[in-house]
Amino acid sequence: MSELNLTKIFKVLKLQLKTFIIIVIIFDVCLLAYSYIMPQMFTSELSIMPPKSSSSGGGLSSFLQNLGGGALSIGGIGEDDQSKLFADILKSRTVTNEIVEKLRLDTLSYFSELSELALTKTVSNLIEVDIEKSGLIKLKCSLQTSYLADKDEVKFIKTLVKDMTNLFAQSLDNTLKEKNNSAARQSRMYVENEINKYRQKLDSVALKLQRFQEENNVFEIEEQTKAVVLQAIEIGAQLIEYENELNLAKIQMNPNSNQVNILQQQIIKIKEQANRIQNGGINDDKFSIPLSKVPELTREYVEIYRDRAILEKVLMYLETQRHQEEIQEEKDVPIIEILDYAYEPDIKSAPQRSLMLIVGTIIISIFAFIYILFRAYKKGSLNIN
């Protein structure tokens, strides 16, 4: 019966050590030679500052919040969500198409054989986006040369990967600005439409107020009412004074005396004046208001005046909002903040020859070990009877 003997195995390996070393060396030389002719990978990196959290509670919600004493509060999108949004936009076709167009990648030999859709997907796969816990966005872009690349090609790839990485960040900023400006444009158009509507309403209320003033002889109802009340108080005081004098005259004089008659005539005139005040003034002033109508007129006037004041306040807000949207639509301020711009890589990111040799040596050693044992087994060197 035959069995595998470990002592025999080590003996065989010792005898075939030279063969083992030769196999490993030949493979390592071939692997090292291949590493010089295989495509070289270059990577450039760019860092984007965490997006600033912004509240979406502006605009109309802020206006309502001010009117309501701060009871309304609408929160904005968080920093983490914005960072993820930025990462998704970097992978979008809008950004990649801009990269292809500005760098004219479709004219390069590396991408010329790809269709438009395949080229977009390829460019999107060239970048890697990492979001750190702090919210910092790390953008890495990698490109590789062809086989047996010369110095000119290596230099070209280094420059291209740097430009492409920086252009990704620029395209992200352009996309965000375009979307913001588009949203601002739509908001401005909506606000302008609302301004026209409220102006028509304000014109209608102003006309209603004018008609009310003309029909009821109202100019400034508070001042007019105050003047009428003062007249009523003055006439009332005079009436009391003359009535007291009349009572004293009746006691001291003959009831049919001239003095008593004069006082009685004065009292009649004062009562007529008091009655005229109640019905709209003493001197037929067209802006005098009958006291009996003051409560009703005041209520109607206050309602109309309130509607006008509200419309004026809303229009003031809308005009301010339109101005803000116009500024947002026209401004060209960067939205993203770049912490570190992409650099031209000094060394390649792949292949790593040291790592290739270490891993390759381990793998070929295993296969060489198996090969030597298998050949010895075929020759019967591992069999013991």
Mean per-residue pLDDT, 100-106: 91
Instruction: Name the amino acid, one letter, at 90.
Output: L
User: Where is mean pLDDT largest: 52-66, 155-169, 249-263?
Assistant: 155-169
Are the C-beta atoms of residues 36 and 357 closer than 8 Å to each other? no
Q: Nearest 10 degrees: CA dihedral of 270, 272, 274, 275?
A: 170
State both tokens at 328. 């947002």
User: What is the mean predicted confidence (pLDDT) over 242-259?
Assistant: 75
Residue 159 pLDDT:
94
From residue 171, how far is each of 177, 326, 341, 365, 368 by CA, in Å? 10, 23, 14, 49, 52
For residues 9-32, give the mean pLDDT: 86
User: pLDDT tens, 137-185?
Assistant: 999 999 999 898 899 999 999 999 999 999 999 999 999 888 888 888 8
- DSSP class of 350: B
CA angle 266, 272, 273 (to 5 degrees): 90
Name the pLDDT band for 300 (thresholds 50, 70, 90): confident
**Residues ≥6 apart with Cβ < 8 Å to 57:** 65, 72, 73, 74, 75, 76
Reply yes or no on whether the pLDDT at 252 is more than 90.
Answer: no
Spatial contact of 349 and 41, defined as CB atoms under 8 Å apart: yes
**Position 294 pLDDT exceeds 90:** no
Q: How confident is the model at residue 223 (pLDDT cuts 50, 70, 90)?
A: low
| Per-residue model confidence (pLDDT) at position 229 | 60
pLDDT at 88 over 80: yes
Q: Is 90 exceeded by the pLDDT of residue 298?
A: no
Helix 93-103 to helix 116-125 angle (10° resolution) is 100
Compute the average pLDDT of residues 34-45: 92
Average confidence score pLDDT of the chain: 80
Tell me the chain's radius of gyration from C-alpha atoms: 48
Task: Give the pLDDT band (50/70/90) at residue 41.
Answer: very high
* Pairwise CA distance, residues 338 & 48, whole Å: 4
Query: Across residues 223-227, what is the average pLDDT?
Result: 58
pTM, full prediction: 0.60
Of 353, 363, 375, 308, which Cα lies nearest the Cα of 41?
A: 353
Least-confidence region, from 93-107, 114-128, 254-268: 254-268
How many whole angstroms separate alpha carbon 23 and alpha carbon 33?
15
Question: Of residues 71 and 273, which shows the higher confidence score?
Answer: 273
Residue pointed to by tokens 């919040």: 65
Contact between 130 and 337 under an 8 Å Cβ cutoff? The reply is no
Q: Is the pLDDT of residue 362 over 90?
A: yes
Distance CA 356, CA 35 (A): 8
User: How confident is the model at residue 210, as a pLDDT?
Assistant: 81
Of 140, 49, 167, residue with least CA distance to 345: 140
pLDDT bin (cut points 50, 70, 90) of residue 292 is low
Residue type, 220: E
The secondary element (H helix, E strand) that includes residue 48 is strand 41-48
Mean pLDDT of 113-135: 89
- pLDDT at position 385 is 41
Written as one letter, the residue type at 260 is: V
Which of the four pLDDT bands, split at 50, 70 and 90, describes residue 63?
very low
